[in-house]
A and B are shown apart, each in its own frame.
Chain A
Amino acid sequence: MDPKTVHIEFTLNGSPRSLEIPGAASALWVIRNLIGLKGAKEGCGIGECGACTIEVDGKAVNSCLMLAAQLDGADVLTVEGLASEDGLHPLQSSFLEHHGVQCGFCTPGLLMSTHALLKENPHPDHAQVSKAIAGNLCRCTGYRQIFASIEDAVKHNSGEAAQ
C-alpha cells in the first residue's frame, strides 16, 4: 500500500462516501475540492476563525485542522446536511428571521457550532452559547443578531433543532 494515497469511507450528511485522498489533505480541502461542497469556508486556515466548522461524530471541529484521513469511519455533517426536503433547518430559519447573516462567510461555521451545542444541551443559557461560539468569528454583525437568532431558536426548541 502506498500511504501517500489513503482510502477512506465515512458518512457525509447521511450518505455513505468512499474515496481516495492525499495522505496529508485536510478534511476541509477534501470536502470543498474533491466532494464539491462549498459551505464550509477557509477563513484563516489555522483554527482561529471557525468558518470551516463541521460536525464529526456529533462534535464541532475545525475541518481545516483535521486530516481528511481522520474522517475514516466517522459520521460527518456539514451545513449542506442541515436543511431537509421540508425546508430549512429551524436554526437556519432563525438566522434569516433575526438577521444573523450579513456577508454570510461565517454563517455555516456558526450554524454547525450551534447545532453541535444544541445536541449536547437543548436549552443553553447566554453564557453557554457564548462559550460554544467563541471559536467562530463574525466581522459583520457584532454578534447581537447571532445571539438573537440562536436564543430564539433555543426558546422554540422542542428537540428538532438538534436533528
Chain B
Amino acid sequence: MMNTGYVRPRTLEDALAFLAENSGKTRIVAGGTDVMVDLRAGTLKTDYLLDVSRLQALRGIEIIGNDLSVGAAATLSEIYNSAILEAHAPALQKSAVNFASKQIRNVATIGGNVAHCSPCGDTLPALAIHEARAVLSSPAGERQVPIEAIASGPYMCALPQNEIITRFILKPATVAFADFQKIGRRKELAVARMSMAYMADKDAEGRICFFRFALGACTPTPQRNHRIEAMLTGQIPDAARIWEAGRVLAEDTIAVTGRRASAVYKESAIQGLFMRMVYPLV
C-alpha cells in the first residue's frame, strides 16, 4: 500500500499523457471494486493508480445520431436508473438490477466491468447483443474495437496499456422483448455461473423478425450465438422451438468448454434458463 501512488488528472489528455509516460507500471481505476480486491490480495502490484472516474469524457449516457453512447465511467446504478437505456437497451438496464450489491452498483463502472475481462461480467452479454464497440483513446487518437475482442481469455485484456476505454457505442434497439438472466449461488451478490441476454421482436403475423442472443460466464469470453439467432428468426415461436434452441445452445457451449464434470448440470441449466428467459415470446 505504501509504494503505490495515486493520480487523478483533470482531463482525458492529461490522463493519456500520464499513461503514455508510465505505461506498464500504471493501473487504471474507476470504481475500484475489482482493483481494491486485487490490491488487498497482493495479486496487483503497480506503481500508480490512475483514477479516471471523474473524467468528463467518460461520463454520460446519451443518444448521439443513430448511436447509443454509454460513458465508460457510468456506474451500474446510473445504468440501472437510466430511462434512455430502459428504452433503447433494456437488457443492459436489466443486467444492472442484480449486479453485485447496492454498495457496489453505486461505484462500479461499466468500463471496469468490461476491462476486468471476467468471463462472468454481467454487462457483457447485453453489450454483445447491441453489437457494442468500445471507444479507445490514446495520444495517437481514437479507435473502436468490438466488445468481443477486448478479452483474449478469462481476466486477460487484449488492449494495449496506453489506451483508455472512454465509452461504448451501442446499436440502440426499441424492441418488444428483452431480458437478462443469470444463475448464481444465491440471488443477490453472487458471481454469475451462467448469464444470458436477448432481445427480440415479432412481426404482425407473430413471426420472430429480430432476435439477438449472447451467453456469458459459461465460456472463456462471452459470445453471441449466431446459430440459435438464425434458428429462431423467421419462426413462429412455440415452446418446442425454444426448447430445441436451448438444447442447441447447450450443445454449442459444451463444444467450447469440453465435457467437464459440470456439464451434466450445465446442459440442463443452460436449456432451462434459456426457456425461462425467452418464453415470453410464445
Contacts and interface: CB of A to CB of B under 8 A. Distances in A.
Contact of A46 (B37, B48, B53): B37
A61 to B, nearest CB: 5
B32 A65 contact: yes
Contacts of A60: 102-103, 106
A135 B4 contact: no
A135 B36 contact: no
Interface string A62-73: 101111011010
A108 to B, nearest CB: 13
B77 interface: yes
Interface in A114-156: 116-117, 131-132, 134-136
Interface string B161-190: 000000000000000000000000001110
Nearest to A29: B1
A59 interface: yes
A65 B107 contact: yes
Nearest to A109: B103
Interface stretch (A19-27, A75-83, A88-96, A99-107): A19-27
A65 B33 contact: yes
User: Size range of the interface on A?
Assistant: 35 or more
Interface residues of B, number: 31
Contact of A67 (B37, B51, B77): B51
Nearest to A42: B40
B66 interface: no
B101 A67 contact: no
Interface string A50-66: 10010000011110111
A45 interface: yes
A16 B102 CA distance: 27
Contact of B188 (A25, A47, A65, A135): A135
Contacts of A46: 37, 40
Contacts of B100: 47, 135
Given A3-B5, A24-B49, A134-B189, A67 B103 contact: no
Interface in B61-107: 77, 100-104, 106-107
Interface of B: 1-8, 29, 31-33, 36-37, 39-40, 48-49, 51, 53, 77, 100-104, 106-107, 187-189
